[in-house]
Amino acid sequence: MSKETILIIDFGSQYNQLIARKVRELNVFCEIVPPAISPDSIDINKVKGIILSGGPASVYENNAPVCDRRIFALGIPVLGICYGMQLMAKTLGGEVDRSRFREYGRAALNVLNHSLLFQDVPKTSVSWMSHGDKVKKMPRGFSRIASSKNTSIASFANFEKRLFGVQFHPEVAHTRHGKLILKNFVKGVCGASGDWSMKSFITETVSEIRKAASKDKVILGLSGGVDSSVAAVLINKAIGRRLVCVFVDNGLLRKNEGALVKKIFQEHFKINLRCVDASEEFLTALKHIQDPEKKRKIIGKAFIKVFEREAKRIGNVKFLAQGTLYPDLIESRSAFGGPSATIKTHHNVGGLPKNMRFRLIEPLKYLFKDEVRRVGKELGMPQEILGRHPFPGPGLAVRIIGDVTRQRCDVLREVDERFISTLRKEGLYDRIWQAFAVLLPVKSVGVMGDERTYENVVAIRAVTSLDGMTADWAKIPYDILGKISNRIINEVKGINRVVYDISSKPPSTIEWE
């Protein structure tokens, strides 16, 4: 990509995605890359700055992640955060040691030099610390520019080489002036113009799609969710009728999904759309499969089988397009080869067979969900689609714990419809990031009409979030939870108990599987 970029080198911090989001909020594009990145691969005309993330390791441990020391000699400004600062110190000849007093949580930061990094930052402010090691001795050419009660060198700088380190985390909300500090680095020190926007993203991406696809056809699995829908409209803008969208009814969709997709994309956007009922094929392949990772991989293979069959009928299809997002890549396989842990395989990323004959087009793979919605708005898409809650690629298969059958899917569809329609009626839907129901592999005793019942239990889940990387459970009022429970139990045959999931992410994930 030709845009000016900030690189974030991933040393395994839980805050990596937060750093990326804060940089994007400054209208500057950024990308998370592995520690193994070669300095020779860095375009010094495009990359305006480099941020070294924090991480759980100690720099003096065996196998601690490191980056090539030539990174510091490129003439590009570098900001090390926590572990990144310690790594910078050790690599350039300083010393790092265990702290006598560890710092976790809020700490008063005392700014000693207000030049560049701390411009307009008060002399004393609150910062967020999370470290057990400290820089004991600075490398030659560095000076101390901030301190805290337990950390003498809370920040240092080599002004001549534009190398900076902070022991605290400016990316978290608890650091009172963290956003200003990052702005000072990205725009002040690095000189980034901040002209990256969704409008410029669309212009550049449309050009890239046209170049990649040339005169060939592209096939895209359109689910009706935000990601695949925005990808479809974006690619359609680039190549028009050479995009063939395939809506696959895999038997794992929400209620009335097919009717909504046809209405929006055939009637409103005039997109080239084919509808395929492959529900029997998918449900047969999932028979007796309980492991969620196996479910995802089976569904991924089944999708490719359907797409290849459709592509053969269409002819001259060389590309498969997907609505993969940045969090999909990050969570799936520590996508960058860095030390961040793998959370789970996403259908869009890890469920595709290696011998697939299509080449991939993933126009949204460096965007977060809220950025995708802004792209959709820029493209003139209706709020009916853009405001929809996220829906997983494997659909209801990962919301049914245990065996996936048509009957269990039908039950869950009805439960989900009662839950979502009630949230809409009560005016809560747009205030919640994601809401859904999970069918559990347990039954419980109940009483209905003076008779004993022994039926299924469902869990309902609703979370608030900005981008899905972290989330808190939604504080739905008790009376509305009561209405939801009553509707589900009274209107959906086979359910006699509803429980509410009050877990946050982390430690839990949003989806159950």
DSSP per residue over 138-164, as a string?
Answer: PPTT-EEEEE-SS-S-SEEEETTTTEE
Known catalytic membership, residue 131: no
Neighbour tally for 136: CB within 10 Å: 15
Q: Which of 4, 103, 171, 513 is catalytic?
A: 171
Q: Which of 169, 177, 346, 389 is catalytic?
A: 169
> Torsions phi, psi of 164, nearest 5?
-135, 150
The b-or-e profile of 254-285 (16+ CB within 10 A means b, else e) is bbebbebbeebbeeebebbbeebebbebbbeb
Helical packing angle, 226-239 and 198-213, nearest 10° = 60
Rounded Cα–Cα distance for residues 83 and 57 (Å)? 8
Known catalytic membership, residue 171: yes
Q: Which of 82, 190, 245, 409 is catalytic?
A: 82
Asked if residues 1 and 204 have their Cβ atoms less than 8 Å apart, the reply is: yes
DSSP per residue over 422-445, as a string?
Answer: HHHHTT-GGG-SEEEEEEEEEEEE
Terminal alpha carbon distance of the chain: 35
Asked if residues 184 and 117 have their Cβ atoms less than 8 Å apart, the reply is: yes
Q: What is the 3-state secondary structure (H, E, C) of 252-292?
A: CCCCCHHHHHHHHHHHHCCCCEEEEECHHHHHHHCCCCCCH
Asked if residues 174 and 106 have their Cβ atoms less than 8 Å apart, the reply is: yes
Q: Which residue has the tokens 């265990």?
A: 98
Rounded Cα–Cα distance for residues 204 and 3 (Å)? 9
Evaluate the omega torsion of the peptide bond into residue 292 and state whether it is cis, within 30 degrees of 0: no
Tokens at 195, concatenated: 């002209």
Known catalytic membership, residue 25: no
What positions carry a catalytic annotation?
82, 169, 171
